[in-house]
Structure formats: structure tokens, C-alpha cells
Amino acid sequence: MVLVWHLVLATLLSAFASPERVPGLLTGIGSAGVLAYMALGWGLWGSSLGKAALGLRIVPAAGGRMTLGRGVWRVLCYLLASFPAKLGLAAALWDRERRGWHDHLAGTIVVREGGERPGTIWVEPAAPPAGAGSRARWRWGAAALGIYLVMVLVFTWPLAAHFATRLPGGDILGLSEDSYVFLWDYWWVKKAWSEGWPVMSTDYLFWPQRVSLRFHTLMPQNSALAAPLQGPLGLVATYNLLLLASLVGNAWAAYGLVMMVTGRPGAALVAGGLFAGCPYLMTHALAHPNLVAVQWMPVLAWLLVKGIRSGRWQWGVGAGAALGALGYCDWYGFLYGGMLAVLVAAGHLVVREQRRGALVTLAVTSLVGAAVAAPLLVPMLGEQAAQGYAGRSLLRSSSLAGDPVLWLIPSFLATWAGPVGERVVRSMHYLVAEHTVYLGWGVVALALVGWRARRREMVPWAVAASGLLLLSLGPYLHLAGREEFPGWLVLVLGGLPGNGFDLPVSSGAAGRLALCLLAGGGQALALGERVWLPYGWLWQWIPGLKTASVPVRMALPAMLCLAVMAGAGLAHLWGRGGRARLLGGALAVLTVVDFLPLPYPTRSAAVPARYHQLAGEPGDFAILEVPLSGDLGVFMYYQTVHEKKILAGLLSRPPGQAFSYIRSNTLLRDLLWQAEPGQGSHRLPLTDQVGQLGPAATRERYGAGLRSLRRERVRYLILHPGLLSTSDAAAVEVTMGRLGISPVHREQSLVVYRLAGEPGGR
């Protein structure tokens, strides 16, 4: 039957499609048709042509009739059972009931036509059966781990096919350089440990100075895990392995959380996948592994709720340890995990249940979390108090704030609607990378069902989700890209005391409106004003918000809360059976399709051969990369190969003195890549100087700077013409010629000049 289907399809495609597209279309449409055939046959008739010919039929293990939803679910389980090497299907050969993995997971069994239906074979219960609870939990947990591994490999395909040679990412504004920085982090932590250097400062960047890495996202947890793996696997494969492990860990931890809340393994399985595969995480997986490594966040929520429900403070110790562990993944995670804990505990206070347990558990969680993270956070706070370079303005927070409309816009990665979603986000003048916070229509629908079905139990999660989404909107409201609204709307929603938004930060809006009303009467009601939100007040009182400065990222813990509610909604629908079960399955499948980011963007991790040659060159020297920039992380990645010092770098929060040497050196100052305001491009000041100076004046202007570079053992200048405009690249070459320095190596992507030392040859 499958062969006949593909033959018919190939005939049609050959007639209507171009020859080069036929193979791809045949694979995609053919596979989809086979899966649909299986789902329809199994779900509607409990059979297929092959099974019918053999007199076999699929029935629910607990009795009853097959449904389309169960048929679709059995197909998904069938695909899982096919990995690896059909082992899950072959399990039917030695299983006591002749059931493969897919039958156990789907709650089905194959019987002969006219044969007796199975009696009381175990299927998914609301809670594990007495005497077999531990075995059931472990079995579902192991199955969930395998399913999530397959899901992550599919969602990031084709990364697994190029595991050691490619990285996630591409030419995406806000994501194009950051993955290189985290590769450097892994390399640097291993190098510092192995050679006995301090990890939290370095002179390998911004040479000849030593700069602090306290506010740089070093990811201590992942960097520690990466250290022993880099030798056998290589740096790129290590990076990819830890990234995929984080995604699988996120799903598995969320599964445990939803399982604790609902008691339904199937619903928890889907909810965990929805959290790990959400557009926020899949977008940041392109270049921000620090924002993806949040597997401790569901663990924190799980332990916190256990403590609140039981009233035992010991659970708070575990929750605090999970909160502290988030700090060792990233200080963003520590901040957002703390907010999640506060809001979930507040939700329990709202329903007036376990009040004492909520307060005690939250207090213990906070104290233990602060203690665990103290070795990282205390020096950071001290450095910030002394130097103050890590803080960001409220204006920056507003530029990276969320927008309620963005919650409903499909991700630019989405297979089905990515281009449309990207155009909509760009039309509102948002950064595509940071502002991809699509919640998913299916997730929202399931969350609403969960709220309706288990309202009292869902209050803490609804409070936390709504609170975090509100904070993600930043200091004032943005709506469809607009940040100013008519005065009358501001009067209604915020700015005047007594309406619920009377925060101190709103006084400015209230004052301006009052003055306008006095001066211009009713016309003032049409003037543009901002609707201030609670984030603006919290920004003044919580130091971490001044450092984090990206409120839109609070959508991630909100997504975890929505996944819990969606799991509850799915459990409710599947528990009712019939059409409700079918609706729940359809929403789950549609959400997976909605989130699917195929093909996942990847980029080459190749390093120019010249850097491998420099790695073998003896001597302690530095390399000057041009363009000289604090925005190009790729040069830090090249450094992991040649292991020589460089004169700049891309740090999360560069200390104020990082560019001191560059600015004190005339040559370096004119080679410093500068962004042109409002144009989205960069230029070198050197280009302007070349047109004004002759050879003698050039030597006079830059001679001292060149001598300083030689004193600091800067041996090579490497020019990257492809990163510069034609005029900028030409200006560098002219200047080097006037300084009497000729290239020692030239290829399409780079030109190498030797500034000091013995000639190195070509």
C-alpha cells in the first residue's frame, strides 16, 4: 500500500513539479500521507489494510473503542518506538502481552478479530496504581526522557547531522555573534583552571590590560561541565551537546513539575515538551545557551510547591539549592527564578491555603538560594557598588520591553508562518531575536481550560504567569509598537492616584497631564502620554533589574507557568474522554506543529587555516584584529584556536577601563569600529584620516602608536576585508603601506601584517 501511494505521488509530482524539487516533495508529502493513513486507520477503524488482511485489530487496553485522538497518539508513540533500530517495535517479541513500546505508551493492544478484549491491563491513570506507583513513575519518566531526546533532535535538525562542524545560529540581528562568546567561555574556564589563573579576570581580551569577568556570562555550571569534554569531543561538539542537554533537561524537569501538579503522565509529557520547545527557548538556543540552561527553574517550582503543600521547611532547602544553581547557569536565571518563587508563593496566599507553609518555604528558599549563589553574587554586587559600570538605564529597559501583541505573533523560526511573523515583528520596530515571545494559541487555550477545570489549584500559576507577563512589558506599556497613547486613556489606565496603577514612577505622567489640562483644557486629553507599569517602580528598588535590563525575558518563567496550566487543561480534557479527548489531542498536536522550527538555522564553525598556523608559532605575543571592535565575538572564537592575546572582545558588561589602552593609542583609536547613528552600519575613523594625510603625516600621526604596539608584543595585524566596507579596507591597506609594513599573508578572507619580531614567512 505504501509503495503504491509513493508511485502514484511520484507520477503526479513528475508531471507538475520541477525535476530538482521532486525528491524533496516526494519525501515530505509521502511521509505525511503514510502517517495520516496510519492515524486514520488506527483511530477510526482500529486497523489498516495489512492488519485487516491478517485479521488483526487495535483496541484500547482498558476496553472501549479506538478514537482518532488515540490513533494519532499511537502514531507518535510508534515513531518513538522506532528509535533506535526499531528496538521499541521488536519489544513485542518478548513482551508478555505482545505489546511494543508504542502500545504501552498509547494504552492499546493488538487482538484478533472476534477475540476477547483484554480485561484490566494498566493504562494511564490519574495517579499511579497502588503497589506499582514507583515502577509506573520510573517507567513514564524513562519514556519521557527518550521522547524529549527525539523531540530536541527533531526541533534542532539538521544540527545533529553536523554536530562537530556547525553551530546553531546565522545572520540574525542580536544573535549573530553571541554563540562565539560562549564557545570562548568554555575554552577560557578550562584554560584558566588548567594553568592556575583566576577565572574571573583575564588579559587575553583587551590586552595589555586585565579586565574583570564578574558581569560576563561565563556560565560556571556549563563551563565546568565543558572542561573535561573538550578534549575528547572538541569545543564545537561540546557546545552543541550541552545545548541539547539543556533543552532535554528543561523538558524533563517541566514534566516532573506538571506530573506533580496533575498526576497525569500523558499530560505532563506534552506540557514538558511545550515548555522546552517554546519559541522563546528555541530562539535563544541559536546563540544564548545561558538563557536556555534553565532546567533548575521547574525543579525550583516543584520543590517550592511541595514545601508549601506539606508545610515542611526542608523542601525550602532544596528549592533554595535549585535557585542558587540557577545563578551558576546565569544571573538572569537567578533573578527570574526568585521572582517566580515569590509570585507562586503569593498565589498560595491569594487562595488562603497553606499560608504559613508558603511564607516559611519562601523564606527558607530565599535564604538558602542567596547563600548558595553568594560566591558569585557578592563579588558582583561589590564590584558594581565600587565601579557602577554594569547598570543600565531605564531607557534601555524600555527599548527591550515586551508587547502584548508579541504574545500572539508566530516565531520567525516557525516552519509554517515564520516569514509572516518576522515581517510583523519588524514592522513594529522590534528586535526579532529578543522579541520572539510567542506563547502559542494552543497553549493559551489549554491553559484557559486548565483554569476553568481546576481554578483553585491553578491560582498560584495564574498569578505567577500574569505577574511575570506584566513585568515583561517593561516600565511602560508598548502596544503594537506604540508607546504613547491619548491622555484620556492614560487617565483611565494609569497616572492618577486611586486606580490601581498609582506607583511613584507614574507621578511624572500625572503631573504632565495636570499641567496640560490647566493650560489647554480638554485638548490635553488628546496629547500623547505613557501608561506606566509596575516594572518602573521595581527597577528603582531591585538592583538586579538595573543590571539585567531586558524585561522581555521574563516571558520565559511565565511560559513555564502556562505550561503547567496547559498540562492541567490537557489532563482535564483527556480525563473526560470522547470528543474532549480528541480536542485535547488536536490542540497538543497543533501546538507542536505551531512551534516546529524546521529547518533549524545553523552556521559553519570553520576557522581560517592561518589561525591554526599561528597556534603553532612560538612566543608570547598578541594579535590585533581589524576591525577592532567590542561587537565581534568571532575573533574570540578564533582565539580558542591560536590562544594568543587580542586587543578587544565582546563582553556582556565590559568594564569602563576596558577600552582605555585603545583610546590612548592614536592608531588603535582610528581602527576602532564605530556604529553610525541611525544607519545600522559601522565605519573606521581611519578612512577620514587617510584622505587628509600624506605619507609623512601618516607616519607622524601613527608612528608612536605603532611603537607602543610593538612594546606590548603585538606581533600581527589581521585585516578582515569582508567585515568592512571597501573604502575602510582600502584605507587600512594604504595606512599600512605608508607605515612601511607589507602583508606577509593574503587570502580572500583576511590579510596578515607582521608588526614586530622576526619575519614569519607566508
Cα–Cα nearest to 265, from 108, 118, 104, 121: 104
376: Cα within 13 Å, side-chain hemisphere: 23
pLDDT computed for residue 373 by the predictor: 93
CA atoms of 57 and 51, how far apart (whole Å): 7
**DSSP letters along 242-264, please?**
HHHHHHHHHHHHHHHHHHHHH--
What pLDDT score was predicted for residue 581? 87
**Poorest-confidence range of 152-156, 358-362, 533-537?**
533-537
Q: Which residue has the cell 518555604?
A: 361
Cell reading at 335 = 533573578
Provide the sign of the torsion angle of the four alpha carbons 687, 688, 690, 691, taken in this order: positive
Which strands make up the sheet holding 751-754, listed edge to edge? 645-646, 622-626, 714-719, 751-754, 743-746
pLDDT above 90 for 145: yes
C-alpha cell at 201: 579576570
Nearest to 452 by CA among 576, 544, 343: 576
Integer distance in angstroms from the first to the last C-alpha of the chain? 64
User: Which tops the pLDDT comparison, 273 or 15?
Assistant: 273
Query: Phi and psi (nearest 5°) for 480?
Result: 55, 40
Do the bridges between strand 714-719 and strand 751-754 make them parallel or antiparallel, or are there none, so unpaired? antiparallel
Distance of alpha carbon 683 from alpha carbon 266, whole angstroms: 56
**Mean local confidence (pLDDT), 426-454:** 92
Question: The C-alpha cell of 722 is what?
Answer: 569582508
At residue 635, the pLDDT reads: 95
Taking the C-alpha atoms of residue 269 and residue 148, their distance in angstroms, rounded to an integer, is 9
Interval 225-265: pLDDT, tens: 999 999 999 999 999 999 999 999 999 999 999 999 998 99
pLDDT at 132 (0 to 100): 40
pLDDT (average), residues 326-331: 90
- Does pLDDT of 163 surpass 70? yes
Given this model, what pLDDT does residue 19 score?
Answer: 63
Q: Is the peptide bond before 158 cis (omega within 30 degrees of 0)?
A: yes
The number of CA neighbours under 13 Å toward the Cβ of 380 is 23
Query: Would you say 469 and 405 are in contact if contact means Cβ atoms under 8 Å apart?
Result: no
- Alpha-carbon distance of 465 to 560, in angstroms, equals 8
Q: Report the distance separating Cα 16 and Cα 39, nearest Å.
A: 28
Instruction: For residues 431 and 174, give the distance between their C-alpha atoms in angstroms, rounded to a whole number.
Output: 7
Query: Where does residue 656 rank: exposed (0-12), middle (13-18), buried (19+ CB within 10 A)?
Result: exposed
- Which grid cell is 491? 487617565
- Mean pLDDT of the region 395-422: 89
Over residues 282-294, mean pLDDT: 94
The residue among 254, 271, 257 whose CA lies nearest residue 305 is 257
Alpha helices in 119-234 (DSSP H): 133-155, 178-195, 220-233
Q: Can you read off the three cell numbers belonging to residue 681?
A: 552600519
Top pLDDT among 58 and 14 is at 58
Alpha helices (runs of H) in 293-440, residue ranges in sequence order = 296-310, 314-329, 331-350, 355-387, 394-399, 418-427
Distance, CA of 411 to CA of 594 (rounded, Å): 9
**Which has the higher per-residue pLDDT, 703 or 66?**
703
Residue with cell 501608561: 531
Among 300-304, 493-497, 600-604, the least confident range: 493-497
Instruction: Spell out the domain ranges in the chain.
Output: 2-117, 151-473+552-595, 609-754
Residue 678 has what pLDDT? 57
Fill in the DSSP letter of residue 67: -
- Across the chain, what does the average pLDDT equal? 83
Give dist(CA 498, CA 492) in Å, integer: 10
Looking at residue 506, its pLDDT comes to 40
Q: Which of 100-114, 247-261, 645-659 has the highest mean pLDDT?
A: 247-261
Count the residues in the chain.
Answer: 762
State the pTM of this model. 0.80
Extract the C-alpha cell encoding 362: 519562601
Please give the pLDDT value at position 515.
45
pLDDT of 493 strictly over 80: no
pLDDT(445) > 90:
yes
Please, is 265 exposed, middle or buried when counting C-beta atoms within 10 Å of its C-beta (0-12, 13-18, 19+)?
A: buried
- The mean pLDDT value for 192-196 works out to 93
Q: What gap in Å lies between CA 204 and CA 198, rounded to an integer?
A: 12
Distance CA 285, CA 384 (A): 29
Sign, Cα dihedral of 259, 260, 263, 267 = negative
Does the pLDDT at position 123 exceed 50?
Answer: no
Q: Which of 163, 143, 130 is nearest to 244 (CA)?
A: 163
User: Percent helix, strand and coil across the chain, each rounded to 5?
Assistant: 65, 5, 30
**Per residue in 570-579, is it b (16+ CB within 10 Å) or e — as a string?**
bbbbbbeeee
What nine digits make up the cell of 726? Answer: 571597501
Output 512 or 165, whichever has higher pLDDT: 165
Percentage of the chain with pLDDT > 70?
A: 82
The yes-or-no verdict on residue 137 having pLDDT over 80 is no
Closest by Cα among 358, 360, 298 to 325: 298
Distance CA 183, CA 236 (A): 7
Given a cut of 50, is residue 709 above it in pLDDT? yes
For residue 573, give the nearest of 560, 590, 585 by alpha carbon.
585
Higher pLDDT, 397 or 613: 613
Q: What is the pLDDT of residues 22-74, one digit of tens each?
A: 556 656 676 677 778 778 877 877 877 767 766 778 888 877 788 888 888 78
Q: Cis (ω within 30 of 0) for the bond into 655?
A: no
DSSP string across 87-139 = HHHHGGGT-TT---HHHHHHTEEEEETTPPPP-S-----SSPPTTTHHHHHHH
Asked if the model's pLDDT at residue 512 lies above 80, the reply is no
* Confidence band, pLDDT 50/70/90 cuts, at residue 85: very low
Q: Are 668 and 710 in contact (CB under 8 A)?
A: no
Give 557-582 as a DSSP string.
Answer: HHHHHHHHHHHHHHHHHHHH-HHHHH
Least-confidence region, from 105-119, 375-389, 447-461:
105-119
Q: Which helix (H) or strand (E) holds 313?
A: none
